[in-house]
Amino acid sequence: MNGFDWNAAGEALPLLLEGFRVTLLATVLGTLVAAVLGLAIAVAGRAPSKLVTVPVKAVMEFVRATPLLVQLVGAAAVFSSVEPLTIGIVVLGVHYATYTSEVYRAGIDGVPKGQWEAARALSLPVRRTWQAVILPQAVRNVLPALGNYAISMFKETPFLAVITVQEMVFEARKYGSEHFAYTEAFTLAGLVFLVASYPTSLLMRKLEKRLGH
Amino acid sequence: MSDFFSTLLDEFPQVRAGLWVTLQATVLGALLALVLSFVLGLMAGSRLLLVRGVSRTVVEFFRGTSLYIQLFWLYYAMPPLTGYELTPLLCGVVAFGLNYGAYGSEVVRGAINSVPRGQYEAALALNLTPSRRMRKVILPQAWVQMIPSFTNLLIQLLKCTPLLWLISAADLMTVIQQVRDRTGETLTAYLTLLAAYFVLAYALTLLMNLLERAAKRRLGLDTGAKSLFKSRTATTTVTGGTA
């Protein structure tokens, strides 16, 4: 019973913000991986051959139905020579790609059938059909959903602390154990998350409304 | 390879106990989340600004701060602050329940809003009291719409239970990692663990599909047996704002 120590809180905050930079870096790079890989999965999922679509779907379902924490810890243990931050970004990106691919899929399904037919009537090759006709129309509508996944990924970055990435929660735990001030460190860390994620989610909601979702 | 599985079999009682902890955390956390979803979701539909405001604040708070931090706060930060100490499993149940209750309340709110306006008016015309209107007319219809989203949230909750390992509850992850440490077979151990969670997730999905079918039948809709095996993890659960 020692209540809330404001001095400890003042001391912990700069350390937490230092870790927060890593948190943001992991979120941004993880989102990039998820955005690119998700698109690749969505396009591969529409391949004409079942030899491609069935394994892609199976792997996706498996990755999606299993815990991120186990994937992270497992990957870090198997590839123990790779830098933890790299592993974290790749695993986060791959995990979320299985969700974003679903978003792209919906976006691609939303492109009217006539557009495919028109592209074929102009005898565009497959590559150009995707590049010049389908994707420009599909991608526009998926941005708000991608933003939501970025926020959701941001809130899962604390998992990276487990594989010793020195992000904010890692710093909070370190400070907490060194000074026996878990209360202050974790309360502040939670507040930083709230302050960062709430305005972002309001912004995303506005963007969604503007795009008419 | 076989070394890992033979050790796993030798340690079967521990593995079973770990599985039991994981299941308890999932089911109890989900029940708490379900209750909170309805409380907060119904509050969000209230005519009183104060009631709506309380619900919004609670929901935004628990969605905005990471689950990881909530769990750690309960485990590390609360005891020195309040003098109360929860067991690791209980910490998990409370954190999962609060966090997913906040997400679930959006599902409840959305589903209630999506019941056609005419249903409200008809219930009003029949002079039903507000509580009977909700229980007999609105909720049975909204419930059918909620189940798929609840299934998603349930799977996500299951996927968060390995966090228990970090607050030293002996869950499935803890136990299998112990076997890994003993045998040194890292890849096999983690693949087994992932497969175990996959099987659990699929089993939960099947149960929820059964529930959905029962709810639909009550409304006179029958979807046939084929839909029971559909994997629900395939749908996305972004419900307005944060995921």
> What confidence score (pLDDT) does residue B232 get?
53
The encoded tokens of residue B174 equal: 């803890």
Q: Which tens digit of pLDDT belongs to each residue from A176-201?
A: 888 888 888 889 999 998 998 888 88
Q: Residue A113 pLDDT > 50, yes or no?
A: yes
pLDDT in tens, A118-134: 999 999 999 999 999 99
CB contact under 8 A, A74 and B190: yes
A108 vs A103: CA distance, rounded Å: 9
Average per-residue pLDDT for chain A: 89
Nearest to B194 among A66, A159, A194 (CB): A66
Cβ distance of B76 and A148 shorter than 8 Å: no
Question: How many Å lie between the alpha carbon of A115 and the closest alpha carbon of chain B?
Answer: 25
* C-beta separation of A205 from B241 below 8 A: yes
> Looking at chain B, which residue has its C-alpha nearest residue A59?
B198
Interface pTM, i.e. ipTM: 0.85
Q: How confident is the model at residue A77 (pLDDT cuts 50, 70, 90)?
A: very high
Helical residues (DSSP H) of B45-185, grouped into ranges = 49-64, 67-72, 78-82, 88-114, 117-125, 130-132, 139-160, 172-183
Domain boundaries, chain A: 16-211
- Under 8 Å CB pairs connecting chains A and B tally to 148
In this predicted structure, what is the pLDDT of residue B235?
A: 46
Minimum-distance CB partner of B159 among A67, A102, A189:
A67
Residue A62 is nearest to which of B158, B198, B236, comparing CB atoms?
B198
Please return the burial class of B96, using the count of CB atoms within 10 Å of its CB with bins 0-12, 13-18 and 19+: buried
Would you give the distance in Å from CA A114 to the centre of its chain?
33
Q: Which B residues, 171 through 200, put their C-beta within 8 Å of a C-beta on chain A?
A: 173, 177, 180, 186-187, 190-191, 193-194, 197-198
Please report the pLDDT score of residue A121 as a whole number.
94
Residue B52 tokens, joined: 């709506």
Residues in chain B within 8 Å Cβ distance of A208: 240
For the stretch A25-55, pLDDT in tens is: 999 999 999 999 999 999 998 888 899 999 9
Q: Note whether B72 contacts A3, CB cutoff 8 Å.
A: no
Distance of CA B94 to the CA centre of its chain: 12
Mean pLDDT by 10 residues, chain B (243 residues): 82 92 96 97 93 94 91 90 89 96 95 92 91 91 93 95 93 93 91 96 94 89 72 46 34
Cβ contacts of A172 on chain B, cutoff 8 Å: 72
Residue B11's pLDDT is 85
Judge whether A99 and A149 are in contact, CB under 8 Å.
Answer: yes
Domains of chain B and any CATH numbers: 2-242 (1.10.3720.10)
Quick: pLDDT tens for A56-76. Answer: 999 999 999 999 999 999 999
Please check the confidence at residue A91 and state whether its pLDDT lies above 70. Answer: yes
pLDDT of residue B240: 37
**3-class DSSP string for chain A:** CCCCCHHHHHHHHHHHHHHHHHHHHHHHHHHHHHHHHHHHHHHHCCCCCHHHHHHHHHHHHHHHHCCHHHHHHHHHHHCCCCCHHHHHHHHHHHHHHHHHHHHHHHHHHCCCHHHHHHHHHCCCCHHHHHHHHHHHHHHHCCHHHHHHHHHHHHCCHHHHHHHCCCCHHHHHHHHHHHHCCHHHHHHHHHHHHHHHHHHHHHHHHHHHHHCCC
Distance (Å) from the C-alpha of residue A83 to the closest C-alpha of chain B? 18
Statement: the pTM of the whole predicted model exceeds 0.90:
no
Q: Of B76, B159, B233, which is closest to A68 when you measure between CB atoms?
A: B159
Q: Which fold has domain A16-211?
A: MetI-like fold (1.10.3720)
B70, B77, B166 member nearest A182 (Cβ):
B77
Ramachandran sector of residue B224 (left: φ over 0; alpha: ψ -120 to 50; beta: rest)? left
B66, B152, B159: best mutation site toward chain A, by most A Cβ within 10 Å?
B66
Q: Which two tokens stand for residue A29?
A: 């790079």
**CA A55, A35, B243, A140: dihedral to nearest 10 degrees?**
-110
